[in-house]
Chains A and B, each alone.
Chain A
Amino acid sequence: MYDKDALDAIAQRKKDWEKEFKINESPKVTTDLDLEVDAVYTPADIRDVDFLQDIGFPGEYPFTRGPYPEMSRHRPWRYALFTGFDTPEKTNERWKFLYKTGQPTFNVVYDLPTHQGLDADDPLAEDEVGRLGIPISTLRDWEVLWDGLPMEGVQFNSNMETLAAIILAFHLAAAEKRGISPAKLWASVSNDPLSTAVSKGTTVFPIEHGVRLATDLIEYACRHMPRFFPVNMKAVNMAEGGASPSQEMGFVFSNALCLIDETIKRGIDIDEVAPKFSFFGCSTTHMFEEAAKWRAARRLWARLMKERYGAKKPASMMFRFTGYHNPLWMYPEEPELNLVRAALGALGSALGGAQAMPHPSFDEAYAIPTEKGQSLALGTQQILAEESNITKTVDPLAGSYYVEWLTNRMEEAIVGKMKEVEREGGAIKAIKSGFMTREILDYFCRQQDDIATGKRVVVRKNKYRLEEDEDIESRVALHKLDNEAVQGHIENLKKTKAERDNGELRRCLDDIRQAARGKDNLMPFLIRAAKVYASIGEITKTLKDVWGSYRETIIV
């Protein structure tokens, strides 16, 4: 963009300027990944960047600027606040509230028992049903969730990791009852048993079996569900688990390639599977670093798909993502300030070119969101997307000397992490050995130490603290579990289990057991079981009988 002489002159002037203004005598300034940040950036700092090769145009290789030509110029990114609590009935109500408040999508999170394949009436589920998400035990619960709501024509995202195949079976069974074919379903599901084994622990089965189940779902979707995204890789789990930007992206890419490799082994072409992958990660208040991270991720993914996998279709090379302000970096002190933090995180996702965004509630450190918290969260996004004008042009930060420099550094760091995983023997080995978990934990502990010493500022926590001991709980109306509703839900479940065709159910579970022992795709068996109201607990136990349970590699 500049000729060599001009760049040399600029580089020289930068050195002279730094000397003249004694920049080198002032303290070092660093950002994420311990990158030392200069006082100013110039064209000379990105002299090796080739506009057409490295930056280019949105909607075409290397997709640095975005997967689509016009991105959010005419339509905001997908507002995707997820919710789930107490019972399917309550969650259905909140879905309707969010829809009315301007979120034209449905997004769900599950409670811990459901994630672990435990029914609401399981003794191990006691105290935990409906607390952090929706309890889904049978198809009946799924039907209640969707009561009065369209299953086609509206985008739906489901947060389920390892047990995604069971949830999809419920969804397909419910859709079939409404006469909706699988081909019409416009939806996505996490289906990532790997990232959850690194952080969050909803791994359920030994990793190889979780991967087999996930691949069964991917294969089924490739063959029968053209509008369905069978994988939404959970980088978010690792980010919420304390990961750095390069760990988050480097490890999730390693995990994604593992699932892609497994799918290709089944004879599915890269150009059939890669377009079906998307990613769900986090942004923080470090908006330039986040924008750079997302741009680097897009360019790197495109290059990986093209050069390592020989992908030919542009859709195979598009990194599409859901961006979410990381709740890990939200705090209990004067929690209203988290509105600001989450807004900055959303800004980082927006400037990074997100396709969808959930949004945490300001009181995240205390409880799951109330209606009010979600209204404020959704409103934050709506303001960003529709009042700020930041979407009027695509990738507005492109060409910023700093952001292009930062994008390059992020790409190098992500590649570095992927190489480390390769040295460990690939994603599965790096997870089983505890390598990924330990790396993330070490990074998180360093961040916490920096917060404890004040090196990393957290307003109101380690700097500008309030004198009075605030009683947040009397000021902010927090979400509370509706115990009565949950008990009612458990009674309903017992009724469902008593009233179904338990003979047919046992036959379906036997067939699942048999299929789990072999190599058949489990999806048809899961769908049949779903239709006779087999529960997530019964199906999971059947699979565990064959596969065993996940055993954590304990890393402290």
Chain B
Amino acid sequence: MASRTIRLIMAKPGLDGHDLGAKYMARAFRDAGMEVIYTGLQQTPDQIVTAAIQEDVDVIACSILSGAHMGLMTKVMKKLAEKRMDDVLVLVGGAIPRSDIEPLKALGIAGVFPTASPPESAIEFIRKNVKRG
């Protein structure tokens, strides 16, 4: 229920070069009135968290289509915990099997959006669950 503009970073963790989903969603988030920063490809978990801090974001959205989401997001969430960033909403989208949704949530990820989830579902989710503002 943020009243000020929601700041979101769209990140591409790991080596995956499929960025269409990330960019399509980034544009949708921007059209929905959010301030969106896109990291570009091949970001390490450390780089993502550093950028999130620098940009003072409310939401971190990670797009992963390589199947490496469990390992990568475990590292991202660990780094966020180290930096005590518990008020940032973390979302993951991409090639996520149904069986990995609960394990991802158990890491502290708030929302999981498998491939081609409609942008509206993510936008609504963010508006409802964003913690700051």
Q: Are B15 and A441 in contact (CB under 8 A)?
A: no
Interface string of B99-111 (1 = CB under 8 A from A): 1000000000000
Q: Are A444 and B20 in contact (CB under 8 A)?
A: yes
CB neighbors of A among B12-34 (8 A): 14-20, 23-24, 26-27
- Comparing A127-135, A170-178, A495-503, A506-514, the segment that makes contact with chain B is A127-135
State how many angstroms separate the Cβ of A476 from the closest Cβ of chain B. Answer: 11
Q: A331-B116, A444-B24, A445-B24 are in contact. Are A127 and B40 (CB under 8 A)?
A: no
A125 to B71, CA, bound (A): 11
Whether B129 sits at the interface, judged by CB under 8 Å, is no
Partner of B20, one of A116, A242, A367: A242
State how many angstroms separate the Cβ of B38 from the closest Cβ of chain A. Answer: 5
Q: A242-B20, A444-B20, A556-B23 are in contact. Are A112 and B15 (CB under 8 A)?
A: yes
Q: Are A471 and B98 in contact (CB under 8 A)?
A: yes
Partner of A126, one of B40, B71, B115: B71
Interface string of B109-124 (1 = CB under 8 A from A): 0000011101100000
Chain A residues near B116 (CB, 8 Å)? 331-332, 461
State how many angstroms separate the Cβ of B32 from the closest Cβ of chain A. Answer: 14
Chain B residues near A128 (CB, 8 Å)? 14-15, 66, 68
Chain A residues near B38 (CB, 8 Å)? 554, 556
Q: Are A332 and B24 in contact (CB under 8 A)?
A: no
Q: Are B17 and A441 in contact (CB under 8 A)?
A: no
Chain B residues near A127 (CB, 8 Å)? 14, 68, 70-72
Secondary structure type dominating chain B contacts: loop
Interface size on B, residues (CB 8 A): 33
Whether A468 sits at the interface, judged by CB under 8 Å, is no
Q: Are A473 and B99 in contact (CB under 8 A)?
A: yes
Whether B41 sits at the interface, judged by CB under 8 Å, is yes
Which residue of the partner chain A has the closest CB to B100? A473
State how many angstroms separate the Cβ of A462 from the closest Cβ of chain B. Answer: 10
State how many angstroms separate the Cβ of A555 from the closest Cβ of chain B. Answer: 8
Chain B residues near A115 (CB, 8 Å)? 15
Which one of B27, B70, B72 has the highest number of Cβ atoms from chain A below 10 Å of its Cβ? B27
Interface string of B77-102 (1 = CB under 8 A from A): 00000000000000000010111000
Chain B residues near A118 (CB, 8 Å)? 15
State how many angstroms separate the Cβ of B128 from the closest Cβ of chain A. Answer: 21
Partner of A556, one of B27, B70, B115: B27
Whether A365 sits at the interface, judged by CB under 8 Å, is yes
Interface size on A, residues (CB 8 A): 39
Which one of B26, B36, B38, B68 has the highest number of Cβ atoms from chain A below 10 Å of its Cβ? B68
Chain B residues near A366 (CB, 8 Å)? 95, 97
Whether B50 sits at the interface, judged by CB under 8 Å, is no
A156 to B66, CA, bound (A): 26
A448 to B119, CA, bound (A): 11
A350 to B10, CA, bound (A): 40
Whether A287 sits at the interface, judged by CB under 8 Å, is no
State how many angstroms separate the Cβ of B22 from the closest Cβ of chain A. Answer: 9
Q: A132-B67, A201-B17, A473-B97 are in contact. Are A332 and B27 (CB under 8 A)?
A: no
State how many angstroms separate the Cβ of B68 from the closest Cβ of chain A. Answer: 4
A444 to B44, CA, bound (A): 27
Chain B residues near A241 (CB, 8 Å)? 20
A555 to B38, CA, bound (A): 9
Partner of B17, one of A202, A471, A556: A202
Q: Are A445 and B27 in contact (CB under 8 A)?
A: yes
Q: A444-B24, A556-B27 are in contact. Are A481 and B67 (CB under 8 A)?
A: yes
Interface string of B41-69 (1 = CB under 8 A from A): 11010000000000000000000001110
State how many angstroms separate the Cβ of A83 from the closest Cβ of chain B. Answer: 16
Which residue of the partner chain A has the closest CB to B68? A127
Partner of A332, one of B26, B67, B114, B118: B114
The 7 A-B residue pairs with the shortest CB-CB distance, nearest first, are A127-B71, A201-B17, A112-B15, A127-B68, A554-B40, A200-B17, A556-B38
Can you name 21 A-B residue pairings with CB atoms under 8 Å?
A112-B16, A116-B15, A118-B15, A124-B15, A127-B14, A128-B66, A128-B68, A201-B19, A201-B41, A202-B17, A241-B20, A365-B115, A367-B67, A441-B20, A441-B23, A444-B20, A445-B24, A445-B27, A473-B98, A473-B99, A556-B26
Interface residues, chain A, CB within 8 Å of chain B?
112-113, 115-116, 118, 124-128, 131-132, 199-202, 241-242, 328, 331-332, 365-367, 441, 444-445, 448, 452, 461, 471-473, 478, 481, 552, 554-556
